Structure 1
Amino acid sequence: MMPKGTRASSSAPKKVKTPPEPRPSSSIILLSPTNQVLLLHRVKTSTSFASAHVFPGGNLSDFHDGTLPPPGDAKRHEDSLAYRLGAIRETFEESGILLVRKGGKAGPLLNLPTSERDKARKAIYEGNISFGKWLESIGGVADTENLVPFTRWLTPPGLPKRFTTQMYLYMLPLETSPDPVLSAAQSEALIPTPDGGAEITAAHFDDVGTWLERPGRGEVILFPPQYFLLHLLSQFLTGAPAPGSLSPLMEHYSAQREKLRVFLDTVPTTTHPKAVNHPTSQIPWADKVISPVTLGLRHSDQRSILALDKPGAELKGSDRGGDWERVVLVKFGKGGPTNAEVRGREEVLVEERDAKAKDEAYSKL
């Protein structure tokens, strides 16, 4: 017992709040036959990415996708069959697009009537049948082999919900048979969802450049992961051929995809003279893990400077990492992130040092 009148020491250890365990999830950046990208519009009441446009995907399920290593195991944050099945299942549930081969891995993509898809989406969403069992019943095989890993994102500590999200690219064949679901998404039709529209209101394919322009016009909200990945894709997926071009359409889009594949496979992942010496430059895009860290607020416009090189608390001290060369500038507000921009890290930090030096010089006058 402390003597009367004695106050508790201010140096007593404070209880440290343990950050929530990241939930395993996966998403697909889906390319149409004309290299447009599919984004889904989330409702404003959504508990994650409210009102934003996001890639199709969601949380993994032991029932549908299989089990993962336990929390604390680094392999929990690695690409695996469970992540791939979850990505394909969630894409089907949310958009109706079925990335499944008929009869086997070498078969054509399965094209089911819309009514049959919607019935299956509801049954899978409600847990009345596992995704795997349903695939067996229709003679389908999930096309996991054609998913291309393209970064993993680990939510930083300090947020109420955290995810370890494996991102994939999937390129629909340049020649596909008529598909009513794809046609609806290309015309921005409403996509009936098994949850009755509680999370997703619409699915739409558009050019990468158009998606990147729309936030600036106040038409859509893109969070930093989506904006950053679309920015990388915009280097290669530049839209339709120029008017008067003699290049056949299929060759045009095929060439774009080939340049993208080379980019994804090339190590080092940067040509910047300083960044090329950073360890993250030796990590291919398939294996990069990104947990954004705020370096500070930009002097000129108070946008946050998000560094992308750290892999997150769960992988601290490992050989994992993201992208040192680039940062995302973004303004966070009640309405979501705005004014996003991808810039070179060194360029931005030099600007900040120069601005600080000018302020200090001015204050001495």
Structure 2
Amino acid sequence: MSKSAAARSFLPVLDEDRPFLRKPVADPPVPRPSVMLLSPSNQLLLLHRVNTSSAFASAHVFPGGTLSEFHESVPGVNDADRHTDSRAYRLAAVRETFEESGILLAKRRGEAALVELTPAERTAGRKAIHGDKVKFLDFLAGIGAEPDLDNLIPLTRWITPPNAPKRFSAQMYLYLLSADADAAHDGGLEHTDAEWAPVGEWYERAKRGDIIVYEPQAFLLALLADFFPGPGVLATTSESGGSAEAQRRRLLDFIRAVPTGPGDDATSKIPWADKVICSYVLPVRREDGYLVIGLEEAGPELEGQGRGGDGARVVLVKSEAGGPRGAEVRLRRDVVGEPSKL
């Protein structure tokens, strides 16, 4: 595989020196959250980024963005909280979800349902917050609301490898919208479209190459698709049917369960909420042209801290000029015939 192919995939090639474990000389990863929003019927919201975006151009992504010194307390470069779930990440997750999709994950004091805004209130609030005209918490206080931080469910963290043009420490969250939620949305400023669809349908689109999704999105779509396959999509587990509430219960049981996958490597003992993944290209040459992406490493910033990702699974993807295509998640033992080295 050529170095240019690896660069287009934002991934380092594994060799005997394991270069992705060396301390990077480039800027440290920027802290950012992303939120997987599930509708009451368990459809997932994805945003289609514009082709001029400075990061993940033309890709389908979850709502999210970077932490802001104006709105949150951003952990320092050498602060341990920079790579852990914390209040700052959760607050930014709620803020960025509002800015990017228009969905406000906040509740008025004493109420169980999410706050409802008029279209005019939503538009004015998003513009003021995005333009740093008002602090997000001050905006919420003005409408008598508080961010719903407790119902954000952490589900893996991804740290971009050292050779990437832009690096992120991305905390992924899951949020289950209730039946009374105000789910009015749009594509925001950096997106051409925002769409709800069954998770299984999104994953099938990714595997066919109809949409561009990067390794984190592909991996999480695959995990969720087992529980929310969607109509007409073949489930990979016999327990994927049933009511929307039953599907959610099974997913939550899965997220809490340890071990997290087959095999006895150390990463299987790390709960999904605590997994940190710094993906890289395994030195596996396939006739079909797919790259094999390893997921067990936590990255150079966390070396020696006992953290890790998922050694049981890999992502298969084709690296193309416009972005990765045909992403699919498979068991590592079925693809490379060997366990991870962690």
What is the TM-score when the length of structure 1 is the normalising length? 0.81
Q: CA offset at residue 278 of structure 1?
A: 1.1
Alignment partner, residue 65 of structure 2: 58
Alignment partner, residue 113 of structure 1: 118
Alignment partner, residue 153 of structure 2: 148
Aligned pairs for 1:148-227 (under 5 A) are 148-173=153-178, 175-176=179-180, 179=182, 181-182=183-184, 185=185, 191=186, 193=188, 197=189, 199-227=190-218
Take 2:40 and 2:92, find their aligned partners in 1: how far apart are those partners?
Answer: 23
Take 2:288 and 2:80, find their aligned partners in 1: how far apart are those partners?
Answer: 38
User: What letter corresponds to residue 269 of structure 2 in structure 1?
Assistant: Q
Alignment partner, residue 318 of structure 2: 331
Alignment partner, residue 32 of structure 2: 25
Contact 2:38–2:176 under 8 Å retained in 1: yes
User: What letter corresponds to residue 58 of structure 1 in structure 2?
Assistant: G
Take 1:122 and 1:266, find their aligned partners in 2: how far apart are those partners?
Answer: 41
Take 1:64 and 1:200, find their aligned partners in 2: how far apart are those partners?
Answer: 22
Kindly provide the CA deviation profile for residues 341-365 of structure 1, in whole angstroms up to 9, marking residues without a partner as x.
11111121139xxxxxxxxxxxxxx
Kindly provide the CA deviation profile for residues 314-349 of structure 1, in whole angstroms up to 9, marking residues without a partner as x.
001111100000000111111100121111111211
Runs of 4+ in structure 1 over 4 Å off: none
Q: CA offset at residue 32 of structure 1?
A: 0.3
Alignment partner, residue 5 of structure 1: none
Alignment partner, residue 305 of structure 2: 318
The alignment's C-alpha RMSD in Å is 1.9
Take 1:215 and 1:262, find their aligned partners in 2: how far apart are those partners?
Answer: 26
Take 1:239 and 1:290, find their aligned partners in 2: how far apart are those partners?
Answer: 27
Alignment partner, residue 84 of structure 1: 90
Contact 1:156–1:162 under 8 Å retained in 2: yes
Matched residues, percent identical?
50
Alignment partner, residue 231 of structure 1: 222
Take 1:288 and 1:311, find their aligned partners in 2: how far apart are those partners?
Answer: 8
Where 2:243 maps in the other structure, the secondary structure is helix
User: What letter corresponds to residue 52 of structure 2 in structure 1?
Assistant: T
Contact 2:208–2:326 under 8 Å retained in 1: no
Kindly provide the CA deviation profile for residues 190-239 of structure 1, in whole angstroms up to 9, marking residues without a partner as x.
x263xxx3x11211110011111223454321111101101000111133
Take 1:282 and 1:205, find their aligned partners in 2: how far apart are those partners?
Answer: 33
User: What letter corresponds to residue 112 of structure 2 in structure 1?
Assistant: G
Higher relative contact order (CA 8 A, sep 6+): 2
**Aligned mate of 1:300, from 287, 300, 308:** 287
Q: CA offset at residue 123 of structure 1?
A: 0.3
Unaligned runs of 5+ in 2: 1-22, 234-241
User: What letter corresponds to residue 272 of structure 2 in structure 1?
Assistant: W
Alignment partner, residue 49 of structure 1: 56
**Aligned mate of 1:137, from 134, 139, 142:** 142
Take 1:302 and 1:214, find their aligned partners in 2: how far apart are those partners?
Answer: 19
Over 3 Å counting, the alpha-carbon distance change for 1:241 and 1:347 in structure 2 is closer
Aligned pairs for 1:254-293 (under 5 A) are 254-270=245-261, 272=262, 275=263, 277-293=264-280
Take 2:223 and 2:332, find their aligned partners in 1: how far apart are those partners?
Answer: 15
Where 1:127 maps in the other structure, the secondary structure is coil
Alignment of 1:36 with 2:23, yes or no, is no
Q: CA offset at residue 266 of structure 1?
A: 0.4
Q: CA offset at residue 17 of structure 1?
A: 7.2
Alignment of 1:67 with 2:54, yes or no, is no
Contact 2:30–2:168 under 8 Å retained in 1: yes
Q: CA offset at residue 298 of structure 1?
A: 3.1
Where 1:57 maps in the other structure, the secondary structure is coil
Greater gyration radius: 1
**Aligned mate of 1:103, from 109, 127, 130:** 109
Take 1:316 and 1:217, find their aligned partners in 2: how far apart are those partners?
Answer: 35
Take 2:207 and 2:259, find their aligned partners in 1: how far apart are those partners?
Answer: 32
Take 1:344 and 1:77, find their aligned partners in 2: how far apart are those partners?
Answer: 26
Over 3 Å counting, the alpha-carbon distance change for 1:54 and 1:339 in structure 2 is same
